[in-house]
Structure 1
Amino acid sequence: MKNSSEVTSFILSDFYGMEDLKPIYFCVFLIIYITIVAENVVLIGVIYCEKTLHEPMYLLLCNLAVNGLYGSTALLPAVLINVVSHSHEIALPFCQTQIYTIHTYAITEFTILAAMSYDRYVAICYPLTYHTIMLQRVVKLIVFTWLFPMLAFLIVFILTLQLRFCERTIEKVYCINYLLVKLACTDTSIVNIVGLLSVALYTLPQLIMIFYSYALILRICILSFSKSKLKALRTCTPHLLAIINYSIGCFFEIAQSRFNTSGLPYHTKLFLSMYFLIFPPLLNPAIYGLSIQVIRLRLFRLFSRKDRKVQIM
């Protein structure tokens, strides 16, 4: 066993499964990252430029897009570098930084989705006073959705920083707190207990908000006319799809990290471990862009103008 003081970097062992197909993996991850950046930047740009979209719902959506850029940038540039490298090592400070950004991305994503569910509840249950209620609260909600995750994970993160490590191999293509703690040669019982309690703090308030909001929305839908039901369902569909997409990714991550998946093919394990960091920021702009007419029309006008300019030139 190595002296803990010597462990200053870790080996991301899952990259060794890419050795035979490095160029293909590099191109796939590069295309995915460029697509994520392009989609989310365009969505943010449309919301910023279109004055009719300067409403609480779209401001929260804009923050969801910013968080998608934050999370994917914490992962994909490092993955691209490691795909072409031979050692597949990551220095301890970079590993710790990646842990903080990936975990805060995950908590922020769920917190924003919870805030968006509250927004939908107010819009459907209190349509006449929606703007009055949300304009008073949207800034506070946005500040909370960023500040809460950054501070909430800080407790666990500080405890992880105190650990010393005797092993170097992380069986993943990126660093996460759970696997890093497993490599410690000091007692980790306090970190594990605080970590479990923190998971409840990260998830229960958001789950309660989402279920409570949609329980009241469902009640309104049951009591209302058929046209109102359809309108409410159309309003909630993009948000529900975003929640389902993110929940699938979280389920895959928990299943892949906590259970023995050695019997699964390499590509399946890689897909499961990267889903929650890639597919929410990749699909959310498409879900909202295709579902919300105002965004769809703005994008159509934007690209039709570009086509006209090309034809004139």
Structure 2
Amino acid sequence: MDNATVITMLTLSGLNGTANYRVTLFAVTVLCYCVILLVNVTIIATIIGDKSLHEPMYIFLCNLCINGLYGTAGFYPKFLHDLLSSTQVISHAGCLLQGYVLHSSAITDFSFLALMAYDRYVAICRPLMYHSVMTKQRISLFVVVAWIVPFTLMLMSTLTSTSRLCGSNIPKIYCVNWFINSLACSASITANIITGFSSTFYFGHAVFVVWTYIYMIKICLKSKDDMSKFMQTCLPHVFCVIIFSVCLLFDVLYMRIGSRDLSQSVQNFMAMEFLLIPPIINPLIYGFKLTKIRKIIQHFVCGKCFRPNV
């Protein structure tokens, strides 16, 4: 019907039943978000401020942390506001924007994890070609493409998901395209095609990363020096890839086939883990495991804490 009500506001029902402990949840969430900001900004500032870290691996890591800040900024401020509000609503446009930020951040992570895997592959398996392959111009191109492609794909997907809505309830604590599209009065074939292409394209990234590390392990097993190099510089990448992939896969599987018999608290944790665990763990792993970053941070902290009074 042409004069049917146009839905412009959506309800996020993921916080239903949490009224008794929202203050506690708010305090814990503020603490977690502060930790995310601290560890990521520390890594970013360390890499930018020290010229010895202006190398491909650290440049990709810096961008990975920047993307972590970008993705979490699309969730935490709105979530904290909802915890203190009596109603959890969001405009249709705001929901599309939040979905865009979260989805583009997720696939941008895949882009930089794939670049980091490629960098380590060239460094370990083709060491004599490393400087000719990983030039400044090529690194700049890699970084630009790693940002532009995910943002463009998600922009196309979002613009084709703006059809009229026939529902207003999103059973989650934040907006994702899957639920937005499920509320549409009619399915968008174009949006489905773009989503299918994006999923296939970034599944290829995941396959490339897995193949790269398997190949590197196979090569490094032949030499103790190569294995030592792999353990020092590649092990953090492996941990981060596993953590990111498991959290993302867990969230996607739960969102599509998850049981509604679980308590609201468990459902909310499952929804938040992708926005909580990787943004905290990734910088910590790199900060503690990569020797150059760890030494620079330790030197800075010790210099500030133990500087003698003049």
Taking structure 2 as the reference length, the TM-score comes to 0.94
- Given candidates 258, 267, 273, the residue that maps to 1:260 is 258
1:266, CA displacement in angstroms? 1.9
1:190, CA displacement in angstroms? 4.7
Cα offsets for 1:230-267 (capped at 9, x unmatched): 32232210000110110111111112210132122222
Residues in 2 aligned to 1:246 and 1:3: alpha-carbon distance in whole angstroms: 46
Residues in 1 aligned to 2:242 and 2:305: alpha-carbon distance in whole angstroms: 36
Letter in 1 for 2:203: T
Confirm or deny: 8 A CA contact 1:289 1:296 kept in the other structure.
yes
Residues in 2 aligned to 1:156 and 1:94: alpha-carbon distance in whole angstroms: 15
Alignment of 1:240-279 (within 5 A): 240-279=238-277
DSSP 3-state at the match of 1:192: helix
Residues in 2 aligned to 1:17 and 1:141: alpha-carbon distance in whole angstroms: 46
Letter in 1 for 2:96: Q
Aligned residues: 309
> Which range is displaced more, 65-74 or 123-132?
123-132
> Which range is displaced more, 275-284 or 226-235?
226-235
DSSP 3-state at the match of 2:90: strand
Cα offsets for 1:70-91 (capped at 9, x unmatched): 0010110110001111110011
Residues in 2 aligned to 1:17 and 1:130: alpha-carbon distance in whole angstroms: 55
Runs of 4+ in 1 over 4 A off after TM superposition: 1-5
1:217, CA displacement in angstroms? 1.1
Confirm or deny: 8 A CA contact 1:9 1:89 kept in the other structure.
yes
DSSP 3-state at the match of 1:121: helix
1:183, CA displacement in angstroms? 0.8
Equivalent residue, structure 1, for 2:138: 137
Residues in 2 aligned to 1:193 and 1:18: alpha-carbon distance in whole angstroms: 38
Residues in 1 aligned to 2:35 and 2:3: alpha-carbon distance in whole angstroms: 43
2:94 matched to 1:94? yes
Residues in 2 aligned to 1:90 and 1:175: alpha-carbon distance in whole angstroms: 9
2:110 matched to 1:110? yes
Equivalent residue, structure 2, for 1:61: 61
Root mean square deviation of aligned Cα? 1.9
Confirm or deny: 8 A CA contact 1:13 1:173 kept in the other structure.
yes
Letter in 2 for 1:152: L
Equivalent residue, structure 1, for 2:210: 211
Cα offsets for 1:122-141 (capped at 9, x unmatched): 11012233233212421111
Cα offsets for 1:106-164 (capped at 9, x unmatched): 01001110011000101101223323321242111111110110112222211102x11
Identify if the C-alpha distance between structure 1 residues 168 and 253 changes in structure 2 by more than 3 Å, giving closer, same or farther: same
1:203, CA displacement in angstroms? 2.4
Residues in 1 aligned to 2:110 and 2:278: alpha-carbon distance in whole angstroms: 11
Structure 1 segments unaligned to the other structure (5+ residues) = none
Confirm or deny: 8 A CA contact 1:261 1:269 kept in the other structure.
no
Letter in 1 for 2:17: G
**Bigger share in helix:** 1
Residues in 1 aligned to 2:2 and 2:260: alpha-carbon distance in whole angstroms: 26
DSSP 3-state at the match of 2:10: strand
Alignment of 1:167-182 (within 5 A): 167-182=167-182
Letter in 1 for 2:309: I
DSSP 3-state at the match of 1:164: coil
Alignment of 1:1-313 (within 5 A): 5-135=5-135, 136-161=137-162, 163-204=163-204, 206-222=205-221, 224-309=222-307, 312=309
Structure 2 segments unaligned to the other structure (5+ residues) = none
Residues in 2 aligned to 1:125 and 1:157: alpha-carbon distance in whole angstroms: 40
DSSP 3-state at the match of 1:208: helix
Cα offsets for 1:51-104 (capped at 9, x unmatched): 211101000000000000000101101100011111100111111110111110
Residues in 2 aligned to 1:43 and 1:260: alpha-carbon distance in whole angstroms: 35
